[in-house]
Amino acid sequence: MVAPMRIVNSLKKRLRRRSPTGGAGDYVAELVRLCRDDRRKADRLIQEEMVRAPGLTPAGAALALVTRIRHERDPRVSRL
């Protein structure tokens, strides 16, 4: 019975892996997806965010934008 459990645990570990970057995620790609695959719009938003906060890298700007979009679309937030 030990061998089947090892196989199951091995499969769980493989399924849990998301990206080779350690699960940090590619926020630029996520932003493009949220912009309905419009890369030009995503690039424009990143540039505007970098003007708004000059210390950000493009990846940092994409992270800020993705976070902001996700929070705006959260259905649990009540809008009074």
Domain ranges across the chain? 38-74
Average pLDDT over residues 70-75: 71
The pLDDT tens digits for 8-23 are 777 666 665 555 444 4
Q: Which of 19, 46, 23 lies closest to 35, judged by CA?
A: 46
pLDDT of 80 reads 47
CB atoms under 10 Å from CB of 69, counted, come to: 15
Q: Determine the Cα–Cα distance for residues 59 and 53; give it in Å rounded to an integer.
A: 13
The pLDDT tens digits for 57-67 are 999 999 999 99
Instruction: Using a pLDDT cut of 90, give the percent of the chain over it.
Output: 54
Coil, strand or helix: which one is 38?
coil
Model pTM score:
0.62
* Residue pointed to by tokens 């997806």: 33
pLDDT of 72 reads 84
